[in-house]
Structure 1
Amino acid sequence: MGYLKQHPDKDGYFGEFGGAFLPPQLESQFADINRAYLTLGRSADFLNELRYIRKHYQGRPTPVYYAHNLSREAGAHIYLKREDLNHTGAHKLNHCMAEALLAKHMGKTKLIAETGAGQHGVALATAAAYFGMACEIHMGEIDIAKESPNVTRMKLLGAEVVPVSFGGRSLKEAVDSAFESYLGQADTALFAIGSVVGPHPFPLMVRDFQSVIGTEAREQFIEMVGELPDQVGACVGGGSNAMGLFSAFLDDEGVGLNGIEPLGRGTALGEHSATMTFGKPGMIHGFKCLLLSDDDGNPAPVHSIASGLDYPGVGPEHSFLKTEGKVSYHAISDDETLAAFYKLSRLEGIIPALESAHAVAWAIKHGQANPGQTILINLSGRGDKDIDYVTETFGFEAKA
């Protein structure tokens, strides 16, 4: 039996990680979501409607592109799965359209979510518009300032954007705020969690909805090259784009799987979001995972130049894959990320999201150390949302 059929178990655990630790008033709601996914979400009618949406609305399949100029510079063969060409500019719509479709079949009339970089918020607002549903997006004030183009897009799409002003005013607090709001609306709304995090069944459900990335990429790569890639890589914050890509390669011997996380400004607590490198088992937002925590065991402050990666936890499946040694995790700094952001823009005419630029930076570094290898990375999003922040803060060229 393949890996995906065995993980998670029926209670939502990947080894010791995962589960559902919920306030009593949400237990029945999450049980309903799980039941709906296991029935509606796997029916031919649901899947056919989702395939129609992906083809005719999202523009799938997205291509795999051989980055010839970047490859020449790195000394290895770098291929990009172009999720930046998915409608709304990132991989997030893959699970948002599916979650909204599930919510519609469950009789829900509203979608609630958190967002960091704003890509999940834009995608969910898009899904809400498509299905004629209300939408409420919680976003930290720091991220609202950094990602103003996405805030504008969410509002144009009809979503209510709720600024979060407490604590670190970033992604963790946005999740806290969204959960609090959901508590009072759970009968009529779905909390559409934005990554492979949260209580069961969301890590399973979002992975499955994102697996379209890996299914397409594996077939496309074999068609282009005639064999599987040597290495596969993707950035990891919560980890949905990475699990979407990894899902198609987990049973393939000889394919190295690599998650790339943010080292930020350094190794001191609060200067990075490198959960897989420095984290320990802990609890956050109703599930168990590797966690960056303070001396009291509480989630620690985190930092990343990429708003979508600054989360102290990580998906429970990533935590399991790390401890089992099935995936290697690497930390890339803000400076390396910025250099890759500029390099991909200038060499390939593709402006990446800062989140995705972490994976680009790793691919360049790995390629230089392993000349001739084939490297497939997920370009999880485009950089439209980041260009004002990057140019106003750092200018138009990488600093020497």
Structure 2
Amino acid sequence: MASLGFVGAAAGQAAAAASTLPSSRSAFVVVGRPTGSTHAAPGGRPGRAATMMTPSPPAGGGSSSPASLKVDTAEATALTASEPQNVPDKTYDATVPDVRGRYGRFGGQYVPETLMFALEELEAGYAAARADPTFHEEVNGLLKDFVGRPTPLYFAERLTERYARPDGSGPRIWFKREDLNHTGAHKINNSVMQAVLAKRLGKTRIIAETGAGQHGVATATVCARFGLECEVYMGAADMERQALNVFRMRLLGARVIPVTAGAGTLSNALSEAIRDWVTRPVETHYIVGSVAGPHPYPYIVREAHAVIGAETRGQAVDKWGGAPDILIACVGGGSNAIGLFHEFKADEGVRLIGVEAAGKGLDSGEHAATMSRGSLGVLHGSMSYQLQDQWGQLQETHSVSAGLDYPSVGPEHSFMKDTGRCEYVSVTDDEALDAFKLCSRLEGIIPALETAHALAHLEKLCPGLEGSPNIVVNLSGRGDKDVTTVVGLFKERGDADVVF
């Protein structure tokens, strides 16, 4: 099986980008202050052959942005004209981020000064780990023997038959089975890698945020494995609809902290985790669960999940002799999607489609479709698209899926939207529930509600496709956690064929 490599800007390209792009930290802490940045450029190359999760180490070892960070810190300042927020991204570059954590105009480090030490320590520690063969050996060993990688690329025969034409042509549907990972989702890839990194950094306490609970369970799992203190912030509303995962986290020894602020969902949990980290940065490592947050988190989390796409390429070559034609993944913060897409970002012939939560409809005001209805702003330490009002205040979101119920998105996704490298579409609650049932009955696989959004888009996409393209859907998680929620929703809808 092919191995995951780390993809980023070559040193020369990164240096050139850095010379024209101001540091987000300088704008946040003291407007206009010279940066003197010493960030190391992400190394690597776009095309790579595969072993497991990590590559061999390098040789030798919209609208106006809001004026505040939205985490109730007194140190936030308005963005200035020197920031790239008003410079649209038109050209796609597969080597992002640059040395300052920018994906075009997105990303950066909009955080209180008290967190800069922790971010710089993390960045330096990660760079050192990437150059150390023992880091790769430990992570890859855990992914193989503890997580269960590689995950299969499964031919969805009956779903394929559903979209077949009378002449026998039609799209061929494949599932990348991340639901078969230990803990039941892709999240464990990142939690394992960051736990090993935290151990190298001498951290004794781990914090995390979670929405659907899968990242919280994965983090609690690796903390139990390594004997680390674990606290997980989770919105009170999400704790009710994901009670099974709350129990799993507590069984694994984690302390689950309810967050009642706001709507009590993922965004509020992430805000509380950041507040915690500000108060105890020395002994604490924050395992961010998505490709969001300040640099270097979007980069680190992407690299942890890029194993998904790296495996997919090798498996596709084995099964039909080439790359997939279309990749589809659900997008909340966007980690599973980036994990699948990253390997193929430089392949112009591969179509990338991210599926967001349209909730009760894009015009209902009750959705989480950041790409369709969002505007440029800063949230949780990063510049990206987000759902906000004209004053930059977050709008409440809604999705039947707790994991997609987030008002922003990872900065790399925003960059890919602006440049046209990835298409972003949306699926309603009802469409996702229909796909949840359909996949269960046709393939004998109960998907997570997050994954059901990606599956639902097949109903819109497949009838208009020509020929027999190979479509890979990232089956990001299994649906055990959602069964109780879905029972109630099916009752409300009157689905008598499921609920009697």
User: Scaled by the length of structure 2, what TM-score is found?
Assistant: 0.78
| The 10-residue stretch of structure 1 (369-378 or 78-87) with the greater mean CA deviation from structure 2 | 369-378
SS at match of 2:207: strand
2:476 aligned to which of 349, 369, 380: 380
The offset of 1:265, in angstroms, is: 0.4
Radius of gyration: which is bigger?
A: 2
1:67 is aligned to 2:156: yes
Unpaired runs of 5+ in structure 2? 1-9, 11-44, 47-92, 165-170
- The letter for the 2-side match of 1:378 is N
Q: Give the corresponding residue for 1:272.
A: 367
Q: Give the corresponding residue for 2:98.
A: 9
Deviations 1:221-261 (A, max 9, x none): 12111122211110000000000000111111211011111
Separation of aligned partners in 2, 1:307 and 1:226? 37
Q: Give the corresponding residue for 2:295.
A: 200
1:361 is aligned to 2:452: no
The offset of 1:141, in angstroms, is: 0.8
Separation of aligned partners in 2, 1:290 and 1:269? 19
Q: Is the 8 A contact 1:62 1:86 kept in 2?
A: yes
1:328 is aligned to 2:423: yes
Q: Give the corresponding residue for 2:41.
A: none
Distance 1:394 1:105, change over 3 A: same
| Number of positions where the alignment pairs a residue of Structure 1 with one of Structure 2 | 399
Separation of aligned partners in 2, 1:39 and 1:390? 45
Deviations 1:107-166 (A, max 9, x none): 000110110000000000001011110100000111001011100100000000000111
Deviations 1:170-202 (A, max 9, x none): 011001111111222211011110000000000
Q: Give the corresponding residue for 1:169.
A: 264
SS at match of 2:363: coil
1:317 is aligned to 2:317: no
Q: Which has the higher helix share?
A: 1
SS at match of 1:368: helix
- The letter for the 1-side match of 2:483 is I
1:352 is aligned to 2:447: yes
Q: Is the 8 A contact 1:340 1:360 kept in 2?
A: yes
Q: Give the corresponding residue for 1:251.
A: 346
SS at match of 2:343: coil
Deviations 1:254-296 (A, max 9, x none): 1101111111101236411111111111110111001111121
2:178 aligned to which of 83, 88, 95: 83
Separation of aligned partners in 1, 2:394 and 2:364? 11
Backbone CA RMSD of aligned residues: 1.4
Distance 1:325 1:5, change over 3 A: closer
Q: Give the corresponding residue for 1:54.
A: 143
Q: Give the corresponding residue for 1:22.
A: 111
Separation of aligned partners in 2, 1:115 and 1:227? 36
2:384 aligned to which of 289, 292, 305: 289
Separation of aligned partners in 2, 1:165 and 1:254? 46
Unpaired runs of 5+ in structure 1? none
The offset of 1:369, in angstroms, is: 2.1
1:125 is aligned to 2:225: no
User: Scaled by the length of structure 1, what TM-score is found?
Assistant: 0.97
Q: Is the 8 A contact 1:155 1:161 kept in 2?
A: yes
1:43 is aligned to 2:104: no
Q: Is the 8 A contact 2:94 2:345 kept in 1?
A: no
SS at match of 1:367: helix
Separation of aligned partners in 1, 2:274 and 2:348? 40
SS at match of 1:45: helix
Q: Is the 8 A contact 2:325 2:470 kept in 1?
A: yes
Q: Give the corresponding residue for 1:394.
A: 490
- The letter for the 1-side match of 2:205 is K
SS at match of 2:344: coil
Distance 1:364 1:79, change over 3 A: farther
Separation of aligned partners in 1, 2:115 and 2:322? 46
Q: Give the corresponding residue for 1:115.
A: 210
- The letter for the 2-side match of 1:97 is V
Separation of aligned partners in 2, 1:281 and 1:246? 23
Distance 1:398 1:17, change over 3 A: farther
Separation of aligned partners in 2, 1:367 and 1:219? 24
2:306 aligned to which of 211, 214, 218: 211
1:337 is aligned to 2:432: yes
The offset of 1:398, in angstroms, is: 6.9
Separation of aligned partners in 1, 2:254 and 2:363? 37
Q: Is the 8 A contact 1:83 1:379 kept in 2?
A: yes
Separation of aligned partners in 2, 1:218 and 1:382? 22
- The letter for the 1-side match of 2:482 is D
SS at match of 2:306: helix
